[in-house]
Amino acid sequence: DYQALVNNGALILDVRSKGEYATGHIKGSMNIPVDQLSAQVSKLGDKNKPIITCCASGMRSASAKGILQSKGFNSVHNGGGWMSLQSKLQS
């Protein structure tokens, strides 16, 4: 349940490009493009904090989940496309 994760302090990580993010995103989400994620994982802080990845369709967010897990993050959830994730958070 993504809403419960957010209620418990989960970070929503949007891994689309800066340009895509600028055209619309989930309020309060953080944007780190998937191709820059390995270099910028320090921005995410606590490796025990839940993270929900999202992108346009779910492909890049799945890649991002794998990258984060390989870096030691242990509560990573693939939220898929940001628009469908946003609708799940508002229901």
- Catalytic (active-site) positions: 55
User: Which residues 6+ apart lie within 8 Å of 90 measured at CB?
Assistant: none
d(CA 39, CA 26): 23
Using DSSP's 3-state secondary structure scheme, residue 45 falls into coil
